[in-house]
Amino acid sequence: MIGGRAGHERRKWSRLPLAIPVFVRSRDSKGKEFLEFATALNVSAGGMLVAIRRLLPAIAQIRLEIPSAPVAALAMLPRASRSLRAKALRTTPADGYYLLGLKFARPLLLSPSPTPGRRKIASAV
């Protein structure tokens, strides 16, 4: 196999198959700013896969905005990320959409998930 070994996983973090609505803000190939509603198809601490209707330049800088309802009770919780910076790593055409592989500017977690096979057995509580 050219470019890598079969069965070798390069990702640092596990992906979660979640459908999350997101707003994608970036610039098109002509430099014009746009805002488009899209859907994240899977998410990890390092990035996400987004289905979007427009083709973006190969190394587009992107701001993702995750919509949420204004809930007063959430004001007491620690601030969660609702706006994320990312860059496009790859774009794949798929049935009228483009699947955009994104890498976050800063990972959502400080360290990668543990390697498979190493699990916490019991809680300290």
The top-level CATH class assigned to 20-68+80-104 is: mainly beta
102-119 tens-digit pLDDT: 999 998 876 655 555 445
Number of H helices, E strands in the chain: 0, 6
Spans of all domains in the chain: 20-68+80-104
Nearest one of 16, 7, 9, 17 to 109, comparing CA atoms: 16
The C-alpha atoms of residue 45 and residue 54 are separated, in whole angstroms, by: 25
- Say what the pTM is: 0.71
72-86 tens-digit pLDDT: 555 665 555 588 999
Compute φ and ψ for 104, nearest 5 degrees. -70, 145
Which positions ≥6 away from 2 have C-beta within 8 Å? Answer: none
